[in-house]
């Protein structure tokens, strides 16, 4: 499988560690269920990327699962984060959204779904640490504009559309600046009930 996965690592970096340009995400260590869901989304057109769609169009679902499980099994260190300075009030606002959300805007905390350590929740929710700011901004923007879609109900699209643009930028910059633990593994279970119904989370429900 490592040999077959070389078709992925040409863009996603050696062993799926990502690349320094900031636009191609890391694959290594992501939850297998999440990786499989994204591969399916590219294959089915719910995520739009011509290169990914062409690469995956003839692969069976069994092969998609095998690739997802291969990359999920890789435990590799993350590079040090690139500093993206924030003013103290900006950092406080970003951390509030990440840790507590904003009830007045109907925004749940990022940590409510992505885990208290922001490392993701196996098997379907990805971590938020170790991602470049340009990638984070790009994905939140894609959800806002409908270029990235998950299974209905699409909870991330709901969050991205309700979050003010200024806050999107702050959250992306804050997350990209956070240190990544030497060992970053997704949690094995959610902290409590999911705050929103999410079609991509098997069994996801409102409290």
Q: Are 64 and 43 in contact (CB under 8 A)?
A: yes
pLDDT at 92 over 60: yes
Whole-angstrom distance, CA of residue 155 vs CA of residue 102: 16
What architecture does CATH give domain 6-72?
A: Orthogonal Bundle (1.10)
Q: What is the mean pLDDT of residues 172-182?
A: 92
Report the first-to-last Cα separation within the chain, whole angstroms: 40
The values of phi and psi at residue 177, to 5°, are -90, -15
What architecture does CATH give domain 88-177?
A: Orthogonal Bundle (1.10)
Q: Are 97 and 107 in contact (CB under 8 A)?
A: yes
Q: 122-171 pLDDT, tens per residue?
A: 999 999 999 889 999 999 999 999 999 999 999 999 999 999 999 999 99
* Confidence (pLDDT) at 9: 94
Q: 44-66 pLDDT, tens per residue?
A: 999 989 999 999 999 999 999 99
Domain ranges for the chain, please list them: 6-72, 88-177
* Confidence (pLDDT) at 202: 60
Q: 20-36 pLDDT, tens per residue?
A: 677 888 999 999 999 99
């Amino acid at each position: 499988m490592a040999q077959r996965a070389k078709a992925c690592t040409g863009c996603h970096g050696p062993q799926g560690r990502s690349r320094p340009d900031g636009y191609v995400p890391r694959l290594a260590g992501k939850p297998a269920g999440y990786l499989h869901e994204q591969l399916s989304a590219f294959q089915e057109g719910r995520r739009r990327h011509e290169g990914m769609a062409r690469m995956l169009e003839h692969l069976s679902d069994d092969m998609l699962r095998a690739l997802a499980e291969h990359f999920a099994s890789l435990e590799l260190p993350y590079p040090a984060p690139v500093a993206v300075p924030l003013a103290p009030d900006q950092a406080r606002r970003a951390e509030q959204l990440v840790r507590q959300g904003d009830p007045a805007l109907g925004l749940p905390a990022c940590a409510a779904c992505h885990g208290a350590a922001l490392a993701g929740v196996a098997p379907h929710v990805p971590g938020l640490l170790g991602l470049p700011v340009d990638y984070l901004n790009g994905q939140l923007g894609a959800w806002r504009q409908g270029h990235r879609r998950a299974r209905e109900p699409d909870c991330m699209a709901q969050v991205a559309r309700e979050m003010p643009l200024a806050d999107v930028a702050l959250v992306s910059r804050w997350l990209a600046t956070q240190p990544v633990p030497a060992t970053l593994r997704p949690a094995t279970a959610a902290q409590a009930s999911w705050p929103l119904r999410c079609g991509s989370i098997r069994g996801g429900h409102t409290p």
